[in-house]
């Protein structure tokens, strides 16, 4: 007999309800000013062959904590579940709930068979709030209606179960004889994001085939040809500045810029670049490192927690699917959001407040990364109001693999095996959705495109894959990302062909159509090509580790993609057309420099005040509140941590990780991002991004001659020539800078169409290039951190200061754009990085910090804060260009600069080593932790470490922890 | 004398198994990483091991509550085997999630000398946030023989969201302390009482780790396996005096115990 019981678990009266308090603290967001108290309860709906006694036993022994909680059991069929002043939130039917499997498993151990579980949370309010207010609070801050339902005044969770199975007939779409308008309508109505030219090419192909396409074929083509999967803008033809003196034609923009640099450099460390899921370089004699950074912008805009979490999950799968599988050893995360102090009234319709977005993405990264057991070791947050409609979420993973497992191949006859999570309706049309612009209705229209992750499922998949790899149980592997099976099988079978049988794909629930199974972006799935003689061993291994696996067909030598379901042939297409049939588009790109801006000037008397203001800006302020929520030490390889210094509070330039336990060889991981530089010149954004990423890894001891970089472009709508023109200029500068520095790009991605339409206005994100650097650290014992070490040491500025305020933090704070964006001297930078690295391997340096946002003054302030050691510096002693003003010396953001602390007695060795490079002794370290800045004999500022820290450390935390919510933000 | 074998337990969501096995091997044990399913198939394999080590992670996603689902596995399907293992002198170690598991099974803190079972739990940090940070802990070696130096203050990292140790009856805490069962306490750098962040979760009495009345079942929230070499400390670039990580001494102490038993 099947019965349904709802079990309500609440905290004992003596236990503090922290979740309730968090809600109370954030009610100010919703315009609630009256005092309100909130208590919470967890809800479990259990359906199975259990009676009241069993339900009560499960409540007591499994669901409620014996010390802190108590439980009430309600018979679902006869219970009205009414509760005034309450909001109950639970997942929509069909949305993955990871708790379900765990409850079923544990209940089984306790002798109870449970078939179905739904979970939810109830919030009870004491205070003057009516149902309308509660409904507003519920959808505004408690539930994300993209994936969750809520009930006001009722805590009973509806018992809804999946639909019955149905058969799906072959469905043809009439394309061959319809007019252009109809073709466009078919694309639009089907959410295919295919252009008219593309629809025409498809129609022409099916004229040659002598029949109409099926819905499955059309979906397959839409996915394969999507901007997200094909990167057709970046790999397409572009004419730049047509009719002008600097007109350039690109046949393939990516090949002629980013990839051209890698080819030209031809670095021997590169083992596999640009054709696998991640770039691979040599690590030591037996191991290789691979790295990938991805964006998950559009899903994170709709559902920050799920979007960011699955972003992390997706990039981890890229690493698992590189070569024949790599072990993820480090994660990085970079977010771009609007300012935390954006007034609620300024948030456009359909957008979330940036703080809600940021909290959500931090929680998503935290939960997925921590549960996977991969340390999140480095990251950044950039604040600019133009990200309000399109927040950016970058997630990256480094993997370690044997050098013998770098390659893969698929042979006809190999079995197609799906491994990992089940397929559901989640994430349908993610590939095409992420290629479209967002608008005010996206939140409701596209909620099906949001995926929800389950990190534990992926952890199990990871464990199995690494063992299967070492036992040679498969020949090739790739991940199911955007486009699901369609993308994974389509790519793996591109050179040979594939016969796919969808019947055995494990499904979350019945009722999925063949097209849905084929393109679903359900998470945590991998596709393997398995030698038939190894399949039993692989399936046995999967059973041992509770991982589901199913054979989905065979790779063939027919050159065709054939898909059947229930004996019906739903697709039979030429692989070559699928992969090469996309019509090449010629796009126009134009670049016009913006009008000249003005430089900020700071009065001498105000230097202290501006430094303190800079330290408190969210871009510069401590990110400790975020960093501490990430496990940055799991796997025990973290050597230079994200927080360093006397009290573990200083901001590291980069992370150093020693991924092989017992070995002292490591790698440094850093990022560079300078979107505001792009407002003045996208070339500067490329140079500053690459320079910053390199500065960061060099500052901690990374070897610049053994360093690879990655590009990630997040751009506006590149069908518009000015956006594309900026991207061309940026990509060309990437090429030139990489060649000059000798650092090859080994992987990259682009996310276009980051524009938001609301209230008749378009918000375009700043052109945003994230550069990630991965450098070998030959001996981790030579790593250097940024905290000042001891009094009596000598401070140097390495690098030259120029009058460059374009896009600087000070310019932004003052409200000007700056006149010149910083530019790089690539050849000089290359030899400076090499010389500085040698001083570290020769143990001449005890601390080093790069100069980035806020320039020399902020760098020194951070070193003083982190080291609880003072610094006395004459800024006029630093190497600077003739025209450099005092403001530039203090706060300018010229590239390729560092502050270096050298122990007394090693100055002459250091100076000899740096001979020929801009490098000057600027001051000394002192016992008293105070920063003193002078211009020759004039004192510009004298600030105690505590004053600096009080400006820098709590600023962003106060926003994120909700302290500001009731005051400034309404 | 044979090398003591340590079973390092794996299951869905446990993720500190590699470094935990590495730590055991560093002190001369022979660590084997064994999946829970193998143990469920043949609980008798426990006979071949001197210690069971439950590493950190998020077993079964910490769904329902941290460690609860794995604890249910252990107290149902493996209950007899585990009790036999402890009764014959086997050592059981839980780190972080492993500690949460042992508390949720009731093995920790277990019974008082009076025979009464202490009801205790590890619940949400006062901050209600998962946090990774380094703490000072003081060791009590009166009962638990893994402690090399009674009263020593060492540094270790913690990384958890649910690490606040509480007993249902506050008097039980005093009884545990008196019996030497509170093996690790969060303290300030000089051994004084401490509050957040020195006590990262609000544990009453600063409890960071406890053992049972035999001293052989032991669990702690901090991660000793993450501090085996000097380079794992956040300040190693400024504090050059260390020759090893503080966590190593706990594994060495455990090995000494295993060798002598």
Q: What is the pLDDT of residues A715-755, one digit of tens each?
A: 999 999 999 999 999 999 999 999 999 999 999 999 999 99
CB A594: neighbour CB atoms within 10 A? 9
In A135-163, which positions are buried (b, 16+ CB within 10 angstroms) versus exposed (e)? bbbbbbbbbbbbbbbbbbebbbbeeeeee
Instruction: Count the domains in chain B.
Output: 1
**Non-local CB neighbours of A124 within 8 Å, separated by 6+ positions:** A38, A39, A40, A41, A83, A85, A86
A231 Cβ partners below 8 Å, 6+ apart? A254, A749, A750
Residue A800: band (very low, low, confident or very high) from pLDDT cuts 50, 70, 90: very high
Strands A248-250 and A237-240: antiparallel
Q: A296 an active-site residue?
A: yes
Distance CA A840, CA A825 (A): 23
Which of A18, A98, A630 is closest, CB to CB, to B61? Answer: A98
Of the candidates A459, A59, A966, which has an alpha carbon nearest to the alpha carbon of residue B59? A459
Q: How far apart are CA A718 and CA A727, in angstroms?
A: 8
Listed range (A96-100, A419-423, A632-636) with the worst mean pLDDT: A96-100
A549-564: burial string, b at 16+ Cβ within 10 Å, e else: bbbbbbbbebbbbbbb
Alpha carbon of B223: minimum distance to chain A alpha carbons (Å): 9
* Catalytic option among A296, A570, A767, A820: A296
Q: How confident is the model at residue A229 (pLDDT cuts 50, 70, 90)?
A: confident
CB A70 within 8 A of CB A12: yes
What sign has the CA pseudo-torsion A314, A316, A318, A320? negative
Question: pLDDT-based confidence at A438, cuts 50/70/90?
Answer: low
- Dihedrals φ, ψ of A377, to 5°? -110, -15
Cβ atoms of A717 and A755 within 8 Å: the answer is yes
Cis peptide, bond prior to residue B197, ω within 30 of zero: yes
B232–A633: do the CB atoms touch at under 8 Å?
yes
User: Are A395 and A315 within 8 A, CB to CB?
Assistant: yes
Q: Given an 8 Å threshold on Cβ–Cβ distance, is A648 in contact with B133?
A: yes
CB contact under 8 A, A633 and B166: no
Q: Do B237 and A366 touch (CB under 8 A)?
A: no
B182 lies in which domain range?
5-260
d(CA A797, CA A789): 16
Identify all chain A residues contacting B106, using CB atoms and an 8 Å cutoff. Answer: none
Q: Looking up tokens 């700043």, which residue turns up?
A: A766
Using the beta-carbon criterion (under 8 Å), do B60 and A105 form an inter-chain contact?
Answer: yes
Q: Which residue out of B41, B231, B240, B251 would a mutagenesis test of the A interface target, given it has the greatest number of A Cβ atoms within 10 Å?
A: B231
Q: Starting at the edge strand that comes first in sequence, how are the strands of the sheet with A549-555 ordered?
A: A476-479, A525-530, A415-420, A549-555, A498-501, A560-565, A568-574
User: How far is residue A848's CA from residue A859's CA, in Å, rounded to a whole number?
Assistant: 10
Q: Under DSSP, is residue B100 helix (H, G, I), strand (E, B) or coil?
A: helix
C-alpha A750/C-alpha A234 separation (Å) is 8
Q: Which two tokens stand for residue A10?
A: 């609440």
Catalytic residues of B: 96, 223, 225
Question: How large is the average pLDDT for residues A765-788?
Answer: 98
Question: Does the pLDDT at position A429 exceed 70?
Answer: no
> Strands of A870-874's sheet, edge to edge?
A847-850, A898-902, A794-798, A919-926, A870-874, A930-935, A938-944
Q: Kindly report which listed range (A18-27, A105-114, A365-374, A421-430) carries the lowest average pLDDT score.
A: A421-430
Given B69, B166, B225, which is nearest A636 (Cβ)? B225
Q: For residue B128, which residues of chain A lie inside 8 Å, CB to CB?
A: 18-19, 21-22
pLDDT bracket for residue A164 (50, 70, 90): low
Distance from CA of B56 to the nearest CA of A (A): 9
How far, in Å, are A179, A243, A344, A750 from residue A249 at the CA level? 33, 11, 45, 20
What are A693's two structure tokens?
A: 């990423």
Instruction: Look at residue B1 in the predicted model and tell me its pLDDT.
Output: 60
Q: Give the whole-angstrom CA distance, residue A468 versus residue A143.
A: 40
Task: Give residue A892's pLDDT band: very low, low, confident or very high (50, 70, 90).
Answer: very high
What is the per-residue pLDDT across B99-110, written as a single tens digit (0 to 9) for each?
999 999 999 999
3-state SS assignment for residue A11? strand
Q: Which CA distances in Å does A143 have to A27, A149, A150, A296, B128?
A: 14, 7, 7, 21, 19
**Cβ distance of A103 and B63 shorter than 8 Å:** yes
A702 touches chain B (CB under 8 A): no
Mutate to test the interface with B, among A106, A376, A636 (most CBs of B within 10 A): A636
Cβ-contact A79, A154 below 8 angstroms: no
Output A759-764 pairs: Cβ under 8 A, ≥24 positions apart: A759/A348, A759/A349, A759/A440, A761/A348, A763/A348, A763/A386, A763/A388, A763/A389, A763/A390, A764/A386, A764/A716, A764/A717, A764/A723
CB contact under 8 A, A370 and B18: no
Contact A110 B72 (CB under 8 A): yes
Query: What's residue A962's pLDDT?
Result: 65
ipTM score over 0.95, yes or no: yes
Question: What span, in angstroms and rounded, lies between the C-alpha atoms of A625 and B69?
Answer: 30
Higher-confidence position of A147 and A334: A334
Q: Which residue has the higher pLDDT, A686 or A298?
A: A686
The per-residue pLDDT for range A644-684, each reduced to its tens digit, is: 999 999 999 999 999 999 999 999 999 999 999 999 999 99
The most distant pair of C-alpha atoms in chain A lies apart, rounded to whole Å, by: 90
Which residue ranges form the domains of chain A, and what is each CATH number?
Answer: 3-154 (3.30.1280.10)
In chain A, % of residues over pLDDT 90:
83
Contact between A106 and B22 using a beta-carbon 8 Å cutoff: no
Which residues are CB-neighbours of A606 under 8 A, at least 6 positions away?
A: none
**pLDDT at residue A530 greater than cutoff 50:** yes
Say what the alpha-carbon torsion angle A93, A99, A101, A102 is, to the nearest 10 degrees: -160
pLDDT band at A147 (very low <50, low <70, confident <90, very high): confident
Chain B residues with CB under 8 Å of A639 CB are: 231-232, 236
Which of A106, A313, A455, A660 should one mutate to test binding to chain B, selecting the residue with the greatest count of B CBs within 10 A? A106
Confidence of residue A213 (pLDDT cuts 50, 70, 90): very high
- Weakest mean pLDDT among A222-226, A262-266, A623-627: A222-226
User: Which residues from chain A sit within 8 angstroms of residue B236, using beta carbons?
Assistant: 639
List the CATH number of the domain containing B187: 3.40.50.880
Question: Annotated catalytic, A353?
Answer: no
In whole angstroms, what is the distance from residue A433 CA to residue A191 CA? 8
Cα distance between residue B123 and residue A168, in whole Å: 49
Q: Does A658 touch chain B (CB under 8 A)?
A: yes
Mean pLDDT for chain A overall? 93
Mutation test of the interface with chain A: which of B61, B136, B162, B233, choosing the one with the most A Cβ atoms within 10 A? B61
Q: A556 to chain B nearest CA, in Å? A: 35
CA angle A533, A535, A539 (to 5 degrees): 150
Q: What's the whole-number mean pLDDT along residues B59-84?
A: 94
Sheet holding A376-383, edge to edge: A270-272, A279-282, A287-295, A392-402, A327-337, A376-383
SS3 track for A181-227: HHHHHHHHHCCCCCCHHHHHHHHHHHHHHCCCCEHHHHHHHHHHCCH
Closest among A646, A641, A619, A640 to A631, alpha carbons compared: A641
Contact map slice: A 819-858 vs B, CB within 8 A: 846-847
Q: Which residues, numbered 52 to 71 in chain A, qualify as contacts with chain B under a Cβ-Cβ cut-off of 8 Å?
A: 61-63, 65-68
Residue B16 to residue A373, Cβ atoms within 8 A: yes
Taking residues B178-190, report their average pLDDT. Answer: 97
Which string of DSSP letters, residue by residue, matches A677-713? Answer: HHHH-HHHHHHHHHHHHHHHHHHTT--GGGEEEEEEE
3-state secondary structure of A420: strand
- State the best of A38, A631, A903 to mutate against chain B, taking most chain B CBs within 10 Å: A631
Model pLDDT, residue A444:
42
pLDDT tens by residue, A323-339: 999 999 999 999 999 99
Q: Which helix (H) or strand (E) holds A444?
A: helix A442-445
Cα–Cα dist B180/B194, whole Å: 20
Which DSSP string do the residues of A81-134 spell out, in sequence order? Answer: -EEEEEEEEEEPTTS--HHHHHHHHHHHHTT--EEEEEEEEEEEEESS--HHHH
Q: Rounded to the nearest 5 degrees, what angle is found at the Cα of A580, between the Cα atoms of A579 and A585?
A: 120
The Cα–Cα gap between A649 and A642 comes to: 9
For residue A961, pLDDT over 50 is answered with yes
Using a CB-CB distance cutoff of 8 angstroms, which residues of chain A are in contact with residue B38? 544
Q: Summarize the confidence of residues B137-154 as an average pLDDT.
A: 95
Q: At what angle do helices B68-76 and A98-109 cross, to 10 degrees?
A: 20
- Which range is most confident: A21-30, A55-64, B108-117? A55-64
B261 pLDDT more than 80 = no
* Chain A, window 339-398: residues with a beta carbon less than 8 angstroms from a chain B beta carbon: 366, 370-373
A454 has a chain B CB within 8 A of its CB: yes
Q: Which residues of A touch B235 (CB under 8 A)?
A: 644-646, 648
Q: 10 Å Cβ neighbour count for A593?
A: 8
A779 touches chain B (CB under 8 A): no
B38 to A544: CB separation less than 8 angstroms, yes or no: yes
Closest by CA to A390, choosing from A354, A416, A429, is: A354
- Measuring CA to CA, which residue among A575, A585, A457 is closest to residue A195? A585
Structure tokens at A114: 């449970």
- Residue A894 parent element (H or E): none
Q: Report the distance separating Cα A861 and Cα A786, nearest Å.
A: 11
E strands, A825-965, are 847-850, 870-874, 898-902, 919-926, 930-935, 938-944
Q: Report the helix count and the strand count for chain A, using DSSP H and E.
A: 32, 40
* pLDDT tens digits, A868-886: 999 999 999 999 999 999 9
Say whether pTM exceeds 0.90: yes
C-alpha distance from B136 to closest chain A C-alpha (Å): 12
Distance CA A857, CA B25 (A): 48
Whether residues A636 and B12 touch (CB distance < 8 A) is answered with no
């Amino acid at each position: 007999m099947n019965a349904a019981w709802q079990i309500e678990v609440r905290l004992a009266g003596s236990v503090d309800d922290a979740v309730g308090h968090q809600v109370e603290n954030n009610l100010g967001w919703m315009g609630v000013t009256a005092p309100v108290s909130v208590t919470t309860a967890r809800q479990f709906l259990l359906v199975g062959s259990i009676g009241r006694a069993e339900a009560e036993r499960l409540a007591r022994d499994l669901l409620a904590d014996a010390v802190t909680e108590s439980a009430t059991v309600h018979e679902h069929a006869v219970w009205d579940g009414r509760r005034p002043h309450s909001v109950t939130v639970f997942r929509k039917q069909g949305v993955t709930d990871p708790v379900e499997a765990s409850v079923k498993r544990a209940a089984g151990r306790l002798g109870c068979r449970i078939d179905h579980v739904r979970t939810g949370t109830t919030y009870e309010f004491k205070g003057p709030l009516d149902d309308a207010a509660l409904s507003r609070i519920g959808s505004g801050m408690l539930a994300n209606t993209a994936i969750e339902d809520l009930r006001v005044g009722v805590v009973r969770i509806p018992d809804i179960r999946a639909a019955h199975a149905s058969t799906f007939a072959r469905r043809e779409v009439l394309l061959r004889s319809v007019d252009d308008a109809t073709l466009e309508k078919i694309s639009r109505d089907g959410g295919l994001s295919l252009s008219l030219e593309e629809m025409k090419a498809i129609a022409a192909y099916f004229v040659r085939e002598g029949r109409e396409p099926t819905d499955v074929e059309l979906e397959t083509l839409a996915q394969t040809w999507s901007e997200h999967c094909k990167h057709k803008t970046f790999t397409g033809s572009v004419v730049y500045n047509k009719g002008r003196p600097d007109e350039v034609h690109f046949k393939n923009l990516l090949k002629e810029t980013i990839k051209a640099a890698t080819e030209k450099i031809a670095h021997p460390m590169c083992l596999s670049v640009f054709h696998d899921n991640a770039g691979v370089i040599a690590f030591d004699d037996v191991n290789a490192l691979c790295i990938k950074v991805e964006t998950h912008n559009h899903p994170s805009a709709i559902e920050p927690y799920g979007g960011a979490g699955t972003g992390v999950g997706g990039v981890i799968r890229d690493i698992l699917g590189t070569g024949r599988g790599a072990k993820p050893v480090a994660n990085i995360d970079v977010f771009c959001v609007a300012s935390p102090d954006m007034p609620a009234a300024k948030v456009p319709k359909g957008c979330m407040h940036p703080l809600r977005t940021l909290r959500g993405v931090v929680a998503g990264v935290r939960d997925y990364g921590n549960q996977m057991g991969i340390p999140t070791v480095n990251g950044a947050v950039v604040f600019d109001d133009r990200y309000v409609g399109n927040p950016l979420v970058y997630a990256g993973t480094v993997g370690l693999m044997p050098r013998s497992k770098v390659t893969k191949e698929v042979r006809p006859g190999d079995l197609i095996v799906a491994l990992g999570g089940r397929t559901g309706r989640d994430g349908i049309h993610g590939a095409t959705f992420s290629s479209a612009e967002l608008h005010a209705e996206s939140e409701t229209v596209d909620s099906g495109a949001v995926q929800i992750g389950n990190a534990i499922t992926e952890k199990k998949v990871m464990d199995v894959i690494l063992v299967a790899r070492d036992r040679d149980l498969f020949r090739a592997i790739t991940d199911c990302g955007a486009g699901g099976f369609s993308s994974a099988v389509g790519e793996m079978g591109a050179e040979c062909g594939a016969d796919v049988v969808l019947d055995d794909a494990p499904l979350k629930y019945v009722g999925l159509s063949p097209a849905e199974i084929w393109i679903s972006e359900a998470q945590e799935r991998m596709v393997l090509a398995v030698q038939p003689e190894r399949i039993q061993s692989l399936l046995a291994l999967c059973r041992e580790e509770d991982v589901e696996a199913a054979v989905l067909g065979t790779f063939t030598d027919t050159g065709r993609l054939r898909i059947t379901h229930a004996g019906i042939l739903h697709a039979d297409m030429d692989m070559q057309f699928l992969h090469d049939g996309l019509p090449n588009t010629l796009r126009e790109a134009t670049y016009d420099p913006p009008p000249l801006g003005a430089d900020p000037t700071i009065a001498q008397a105000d230097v202290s005040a501006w430094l303190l203001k800079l330290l408190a800006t969210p871009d510069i302020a401590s990110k400790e509140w975020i960093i501490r929520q990430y496990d940055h030490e799991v796997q025990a390889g973290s050597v230079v941590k994200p927080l360093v210094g006397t009290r573990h509070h200083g901001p590291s330039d980069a992370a150093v990780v020693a991924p092989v336990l017992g070995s002292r060889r490591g790698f440094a991981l850093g990022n560079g991002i300078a979107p505001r530089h792009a407002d003045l010149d996208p070339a500067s954004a490329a140079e500053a991004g690459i320079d910053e990423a390199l500065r960061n890894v060099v500052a901690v001891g990374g070897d610049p001659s053994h360093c690879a970089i990655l590009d990630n472009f997040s751009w506006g709508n590149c069908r518009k020539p000015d956006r594309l023109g900026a991207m061309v200029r940026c990509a060309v500068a990437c090429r030139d800078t990489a060649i000059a520095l000798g650092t090859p790009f080994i992987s990259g991605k682009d996310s276009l169409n980051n524009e938001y339409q609301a209230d008749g206005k378009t918000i375009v994100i700043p052109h945003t290039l994230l550069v990630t650097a991965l450098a070998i650290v030959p001996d981790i014992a030579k790593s250097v951190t940024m905290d000042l070490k001891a009094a009596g040491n000598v401070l140097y500025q390495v690098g030259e200061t120029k009058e460059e305020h374009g896009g600087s933090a000070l310019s932004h704070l003052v409200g000007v754009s700056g006149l010149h964006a910083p530019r790089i001297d690539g050849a000089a930078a290359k030899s400076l990085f090499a010389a500085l690295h040698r001083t570290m391997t020769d143990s001449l340096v005890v601390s080093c910090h790069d100069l980035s946002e806020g320039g020399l003054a902020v760098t020194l302030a951070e070193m003083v804060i982190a080291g609880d050691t003072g610094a006395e510096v004459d800024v006029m002693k630093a190497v600077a260009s003739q025209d450099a003003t005092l403001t530039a010396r203090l706060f300018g953001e010229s590239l390729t600069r560092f502050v270096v602390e050298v122990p007394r007695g090693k100055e002459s060795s250091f100076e000899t080593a740096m001979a020929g490079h801009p490098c000057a002794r600027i001051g000394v370290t002192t016992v008293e932790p105070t920063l003193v800045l002078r211009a020759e004999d004039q004192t510009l500022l004298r600030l105690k470490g505590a004053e600096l820290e009080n400006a820098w450390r709590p600023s962003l935390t106060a926003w994120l922890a909700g302290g500001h919510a009731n005051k400034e933000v309404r | 004398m044979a090398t003591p074998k340590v079973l390092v337990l794996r299951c869905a969501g446990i993720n500190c198994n590699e470094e935990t096995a590495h730590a055991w091997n560093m002190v001369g044990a022979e660590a084997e990483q064994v999946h829970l399913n193998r143990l469920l198939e043949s609980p008798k394999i426990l006979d071949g091991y001197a210690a069971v080590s439950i590493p950190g992670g998020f077993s079964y996603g910490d769904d329902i509550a941290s460690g609860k689902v794995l604890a249910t596995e252990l107290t149902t399907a493996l209950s007899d085997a585990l009790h036999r293992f402890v009764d014959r002198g086997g050592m059981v170690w839980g780190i972080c999630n492993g500690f949460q598991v042992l508390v949720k099974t009731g093995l920790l803190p277990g019974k008082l000398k009076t025979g009464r079972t202490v009801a205790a739990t590890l619940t949400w940090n006062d901050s209600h946030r998962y946090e990774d940070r380094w703490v000072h802990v003081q060791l009590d070696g009166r009962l638990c023989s893994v402690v090399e130096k009674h009263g020593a203050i060492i540094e270790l990292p913690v990384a958890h969201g649910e690490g606040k140790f509480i007993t249902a009856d506050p008097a039980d805490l005093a009884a545990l302390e008196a019996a030497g069962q509170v093996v690790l306490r969060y303290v300030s750098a000089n051994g004084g009482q401490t509050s957040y962040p020195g006590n990262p979760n609000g544990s009453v009495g600063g409890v960071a780790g406890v053992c049972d009345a035999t001293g052989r079942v032991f669990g702690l929230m901090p991660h000793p396996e993450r501090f085996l070499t000097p380079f794992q400390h956040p300040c190693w670039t400024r504090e050059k005096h260390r020759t090893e990580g503080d966590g190593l001494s706990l594994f060495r102490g455990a090995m000494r115990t295993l060798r002598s038993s």
